[in-house]
A = this chain, B = another copy of it.
């Protein structure tokens, strides 16, 4: 790599890390490219030599968040009984813990909207979809007769249900719940969903 390219790569990484700190501290609304430029020591417009636009910057931060979430879910997967029902419960609770520990970065994953008319790039969609494998694997063990497409539907439903509990539970508004209680409710409902779904196995 040439000296110039190397410098650019380092600045780009510094920019993404500065954006990550800003979002973690103040949420998506606290992201000001002018402040980031100052922090990493480039001119205001210089940010746009490093990333295409703010959407790309936010997606790159999201990419780092997803990688850490992926690591947490992988640990949960192997951190106990191999029975698929209990594995799903551990994954659901780990998702809750990750969201609580990374509240603003996790929120940013769902609150960010691309500028109108701009699609989410393929690489970002692929990264998001990759995470479903954690749920997919134990579901495939529970429902060996289901097709991959059917398992995909079930994985999405389970994820959405747990996500809803985490999102509203951590929301400091309508129904904020102490984290210990939230974890136990998530475990209870995840077990109930699995039990209910397996009771009428096709």
Chain A interface residues toward B at CB < 8 A: 110, 113, 120, 125, 128, 153, 156-165, 167-169, 171, 173-175, 177, 181, 185, 188-189, 191-197, 199-200
Contact = CB atoms under 8 A, between A and B. Distances in A.
Q: Say whether chain A's binding surface is mostly helix, strand, loop, or mixed.
A: helix
Nearest to A184: B153
A8 to B, nearest CB: 30
A161 B156 contact: no
A112 to B, nearest CB: 9
Contact of A160 (B125, B159, B167, B194): B167
B191 A175 contact: no
Contact of A165 (B161, B195, B196, B200): B161
Contacts of A173: 113, 120
A173 B163 CA distance: 15
B156 A175 contact: yes
Contacts of A194: 196
Contacts of A161: 160-162, 164-165, 189, 193
A165 B125 CA distance: 19
A196 B197 CA distance: 8
Contacts of A128: 174
A193 B195 CA distance: 8
Given A160-B175, A161-B189, A163-B164, 12 more contacts: A113-B173, A128-B174, A156-B177, A156-B185, A161-B164, A164-B165, A164-B167, A164-B168, A167-B167, A191-B196, A192-B192, A192-B193
Contacts of A188: 157, 197
Contact of A169 (B160, B162, B174, B197): B160
Closest 8 CB pairs of A and B: A164-B164, A192-B196, A196-B196, A161-B161, A195-B196, A160-B165, A160-B168, A160-B164
Contact of A196 (B110, B168, B175, B193): B193
Nearest to A185: B157
